Structure 1
């Protein structure tokens, strides 16, 4: 088997990291050119071909056309009341159902208020004048920004220096110096708070979809409360006299807990307000560092006792616009949600008139793709039958899930062509935040996939669980936005009433490592006393602290964040991936570009499709393109044989690397290349986006180090950079260096082979040979069947994650030597 290009490289050739990164960016730009069939990016529409003056006129004309629709939104007649409440108070709690227009209209109502003014300081720096609107998901942030830009007659984001509306999501920042309304994910606002804890860019922060109760929204609310308390306590000078308004919005009526949270008296000094950045030279304008002088004190004040402060929140309830929705329950429990969904789709398509698009809620990406393939096959069969083709509308089938590239997510908002029914197959991403026009029929499987963390075992359980009644009502309400509709629930009425009323807050069931490092980066000393809407479980907090100690992100003596931990917190990656990426730049590993490829692949959903499940999809795509049967679709064994060219005996991580490198080198038709190998083309597009952003971040890191002109002595953990070779590995083999670099973040997920000697097992007696024992928790674990190492026995393995499905599995696995593990720890 021929090795991949990256693994052939002579390890003795010393290429500067920044030169490699520049080359990588150039490769990305050239590889980003359209290859074969592609979708049109919505930003690059016909308007972009006009002259600047003509384009501006077209945008304003489009805004006029949309005004009539805006005026029909339920929230439109309440704009004066909303403005009045925010003149009286710094915080407004707004409850209104999805579809009322709150997400798009609230920032437009507020952006021209007197308190939302831009202040220019004597040193030329600017404070305030911008409104931030947080969203739990990137698809919502991007789609809402596009809509508001249209309604305001403004170009979007970075497309024009005069743009007033932009967005910022992980690996994609589209803003301009003129941006006054910025949609961003909750995680991105938390990142901005690290660089500017006083949020001096903003006059207001709107926290949307708070009812979803993700960990990030809980953190955002806590930090905003702290900020409001500080401003009311006399620290408004740190914001240069510019006040801060906060709007908290929910689609459900239960806001009492949030009102109590903001109204309650709490010590304002529970968290110090220092930025957590001890050396401003570590940050530059490229990172979003605003460069304020010490007189401007970007750092928060020292932790000194402050009187308890009372923040009185205003409240407002606005009824949403909903047409009647008829609920249809299943008569019997449904055994196969994919089969039942397909049957319901075909029945609707045959019996219900147009217009009437269909929105289907499935559990996750795999079930979305499986159902999508079957519906596309059904659409092909209609097209081939002349009688059916003349009597039934065409089908336009679109997926929607978090890992889908942004430009493909935006296709759901495009106008449905004539004599066509749009079928959107989505995860719970379509439950809130976004309103898809034209949907009259909703099919709800009644389940969703959730990760539930088991701190005692350090295991993530990826479980398909029943949704809550609140979620079920949100889903059915999607059918009644534009006209009366129907909701088909694939569960009985009795099952509905057995559902929990509300969804459990994420903070009670997830790995809290990201929460802890965020709090520690804000210099929170006592985690248990930090004010959160819901207190996290003690055992989960302890496990998170242990994980961060293992990553050297926390000091074992003081418990405070280390310099390495601060660097980890500033990267838009999970802690263990950030640790690996930073280590890759060290001379002892020297594998930045390879690790970027691996980390990019690990940052998206599985890039490999199930060979059997992907067959119908490939068949449907080839038939729709008009090719003869068999031209595009190869036999299953041939597809597997092509994909096996990338398999590496070392394991899954180097297999991912080889696959990404081969995809980058493909310059004819990447979509077909993926189909021939049962590789997820949409996932690979997302990998390329992440790859580009990480390459840029690592280039900026190199530039910072050069500007500092102070050489940092390597500390043995592989994070510092320099030209010393005294930490070089004995082996110069690139694959070994990559694996040892991966161990810097994955060594907590190492498991050793359990063998049987003379009838006695080295490990729990029930195991027997071939299974593994985790070093951290002494837990029995098996290699996941999807791994290239499945069925093989090696001395030890490291894995990207431990999950529990039918049993405990190590997923995305590579073989390691125990001597490497000892060195990594």
Structure 2
């Protein structure tokens, strides 16, 4: 079994520079304890999560830890470039920093920049995922000889991830997820607390990264307008191991050129104005070109009349800036004089604002860090595999039987379902191993796990044991799992694609890019020479795309547009993005926000939209929460329970055999609600919360994911706390609602109806009616849709449906389905969302 899939396999050795000290003998144990921290002899790893330990005399002195780690830092390839990095930012505002995996970028750059004279504020370092932000913060705190985050007011290093903020008043270095930086932009659009913002792992091109880059460009180049500007320039560092440097340089240079040209034009206009007062005209003199709903936007200044929108001088508004919905004309690019009365500053000629600065010294610098991790041997399949799970199972045991310890295994899979399936297979096969073989400890790693569960993968295995980590692409970048020496790359990942015309989201398994394959391979060589088994052919690798498609080109844009609107970006059409999405995608996203009530008819964010933007949820779910908070939030706790359940995929397990499926249906009968999935989720969460004896046994009996329910309870707690912070819920001490942790399992018909009507406020576009032939067609678009087999309403016929997801796998399915009445849908549409 051990050698079957790789018989006659191709081997490719990749030669790279590596450190001469240790790490050349694959049979040498290079993992050691260094003052209570996990590190290596020959290849110090900058991103390892450190395990706290206690000596006989108590906790090891932090300064001694930092001193012992100093030698480790000095061995990193990036160490010799520290002066170049500081000098680059001394002379420029933007630095594009690329370097091979393991060079030390994520931990060392903020520490280098702390020594710069101009760095008086904090340094923010963004990470794609929370587990990376937390682990990196721990490492840097140890290297700096300080406690972490909120453990002490004197802590100099902290982190901020969703629902977990560990910071201190003395903090100088802050690791945070991309979403949290966007939340900070909501409170402080100029990021005044920071001297430097470092955007790490930009090659992933998530939608949050693209938005952050756009906001940072507006700040650093002067494109952003408004009062409250920064007194000192913001420095920006863009980092990745596999980054297209030229594209990022051009992106920022375009912003600088735009402002330079604008300044030249304004200087020419000012000179012209000295000869003719007629140059102080408005945006247009044609009545046909005035914005619908627009009134005279003149503002009196010192007794004279001056048009407010001088930056559009002599440029008629494009009629395509307006769209029509149900006979109402809606602004795509609203009149900024109405939404932001303080812009532009009319106290200066031509409305010129003070933030337009000279750009003589503003440039974009680039830097490449030479040197990388240890060498990695790459193995390819001789022939393509049809079953990557079976091939992964075989490869795991091939490595376990054929490769020496130490050396743990990291397997890249597509999602929670494949992780859990392979975990069961590996554990089943491991029971039949010979007694003299090392034991196998299988640990999952995916986003839906709680932080405590994710942290398990960083702990060393005890005794004669090899860890096998089964992960999604959460482990592809940003973090290092100590001890990993062998990587199995399936070459697959799940990717979401949103189809604007259908409003349909597909979540399909796709082939990864070469960039992702390189990142995955790099996990094997962080601490010692490694090996990577690619479960695809070498030709298959050559045929992969160089880089993946940016998320902003394949997703629903409503979340991104809400982020922009809430942060003062009215002209979303011209917001700087590296890869601007199609206009129809922007229009559909704006229409969605409009129907949710997040925008007014003038395209300005509404009070409902502001509340929605403060919740880390999709706009539709955020709208449901806001709706549930009305009328004293009578049903908001129930809604939070349902929303928490919706954050977990595959809460109800799908047994393999027909007999087991019937057994599962019988066991879940007490939880099933005829109204559909949402009320079934509510009953499940309540019943689980009320179980005080053995929750794991409770879930196993009902074929419910225990791990998933633990995560639901965690999200539930966090959402309650967040709603209290946002004053959508009263403080826990004064809650007048039922505490369903110990309350009755059933809710009344009236409460069920009220809950579903709240959900209709967010999902009225996701509704379908029963057709005479027994099929369902959506109200919006008249598309055929089927109830997903996992739904409790599968096979049932009701007059109308509301669903949370419209997805495509092998056909178009509705998921998270509930039965509703036709008149409810009409009430939701007529309820005044467009205001």
Q: Normalising TM by the smaller chain, what interval? A: 0.7 to 0.9
Q: CA deviation at 1:396?
A: 1.2
Alignment check: 8 A CA contact 1:796 1:816 kept: yes
Q: How does 1:642-653 map to 2 (within 5 A)?
A: 642-653=667-678
Alignment check: 8 A CA contact 1:611 1:640 kept: no
Structure 1 equivalent of residue 32 of structure 2: none
Q: How does 1:92-491 map to 2 (within 5 A)?
A: 92-117=95-120, 129-230=121-222, 238-239=229-230, 241-264=231-254, 265-267=256-258, 302=344, 310=359, 311-382=362-433, 388-390=434-436, 392-491=437-536
User: Which of 696, 704, 714 is residue 671 of structure 1 equivalent to?
Assistant: 696
Alignment check: 8 A CA contact 2:203 2:243 kept: no
CA distance in 2, matches of 1:547, 1:748: 9
Q: CA deviation at 1:155?
A: 2.2
CA distance in 2, matches of 1:636, 1:548: 40
Q: 1:824 to 1:315 in 2, by over 3 A?
A: same
Q: CA deviation at 1:578?
A: 0.7
The secondary structure found in structure 2 opposite 1:553 is coil
Tell me if 1:60 matches 2:60: no
Alignment check: 8 A CA contact 1:523 1:560 kept: no
Structure 2 equivalent of residue 621 of structure 1: none
Q: CA deviation at 1:684?
A: 2.0
Deviations 1:571-608 (A, max 9, x none): 11111111100111222972011011111111233322
Structure 1 equivalent of residue 284 of structure 2: none
CA distance in 1, matches of 2:397, 2:414: 20
Q: Which runs of 5+ in 1 are unaligned?
A: 1-41, 118-128, 273-297, 383-387, 616-633, 707-730, 757-768
CA distance in 2, matches of 1:143, 1:798: 41
User: Which of 779, 782, 793 is residue 778 of structure 1 equivalent to?
Assistant: 782
The secondary structure found in structure 2 opposite 1:422 is strand
Q: 1:733 to 1:104 in 2, by over 3 A?
A: same
Q: CA deviation at 1:432?
A: 1.0
Structure 2 equivalent of residue 540 of structure 1: 585
CA distance in 2, matches of 1:259, 1:589: 49
User: Aligned pairs, how many?
Assistant: 678
Alignment check: 8 A CA contact 1:167 1:175 kept: yes
The secondary structure found in structure 2 opposite 1:567 is helix
The secondary structure found in structure 1 opposite 2:470 is strand
The secondary structure found in structure 2 opposite 1:611 is coil
Q: 1:320 to 1:540 in 2, by over 3 A?
A: farther
CA distance in 1, matches of 2:485, 2:50: 27
Q: Which has the larger radius of gyration?
A: 2
CA distance in 2, matches of 1:776, 1:204: 46
The secondary structure found in structure 1 opposite 2:196 is strand
TM-score between both structures, scaled by the size of structure 2:
0.77
Deviations 1:769-789 (A, max 9, x none): 1x2111111110000111011
CA distance in 2, matches of 1:688, 1:150: 32
User: Which of 561, 570, 573 is residue 614 of structure 2 equivalent to?
Assistant: 570
The secondary structure found in structure 1 opposite 2:726 is helix
CA distance in 2, matches of 1:635, 1:333: 34
Deviations 1:34-53 (A, max 9, x none): xxxxxxxx999655x999xx
CA distance in 1, matches of 2:683, 2:389: 33
Q: CA deviation at 1:81?
A: 1.6
Q: CA deviation at 1:464?
A: 0.6
Tell me if 1:795 matches 2:799: yes
Structure 2 equivalent of residue 591 of structure 1: 635
CA distance in 1, matches of 2:635, 2:85: 54
Structure 2 equivalent of residue 712 of structure 1: none
CA distance in 1, matches of 2:160, 2:610: 21
Structure 1 equivalent of residue 758 of structure 2: 741
Structure 1 equivalent of residue 291 of structure 2: none
CA distance in 1, matches of 2:257, 2:816: 45
Structure 1 equivalent of residue 296 of structure 2: none
The secondary structure found in structure 2 opposite 1:75 is helix
Q: Which runs of 5+ in 2 are unaligned?
A: 1-48, 264-308, 310-339, 346-350, 732-747, 830-835
Structure 2 equivalent of residue 688 of structure 1: 713
The secondary structure found in structure 2 opposite 1:243 is coil
261-270 or 106-115: bigger deviation: 261-270
Deviations 1:181-240 (A, max 9, x none): 11111111111101111112211111001111111111101111111123999x99733x
Q: CA deviation at 1:691?
A: 1.4
Q: 1:688 to 1:406 in 2, by over 3 A?
A: same
The secondary structure found in structure 2 opposite 1:612 is coil
The secondary structure found in structure 1 opposite 2:668 is helix
Structure 2 equivalent of residue 496 of structure 1: 541
Alignment check: 8 A CA contact 1:197 1:299 kept: no
The secondary structure found in structure 1 opposite 2:452 is helix
CA distance in 1, matches of 2:507, 2:792: 21
CA distance in 2, matches of 1:704, 1:366: 35
Deviations 1:655-681 (A, max 9, x none): 111111112112233233323322222
Q: CA deviation at 1:515?
A: 1.1
Alignment check: 8 A CA contact 2:95 2:367 kept: yes
Alignment check: 8 A CA contact 1:549 1:555 kept: yes
Q: CA deviation at 1:732?
A: 7.2
602-611 or 206-215: bigger deviation: 602-611
User: Which of 811, 818, 821 is residue 814 of structure 1 equivalent to?
Assistant: 818
146-155 or 325-334: bigger deviation: 146-155
TM-score between both structures, scaled by the size of structure 1:
0.78
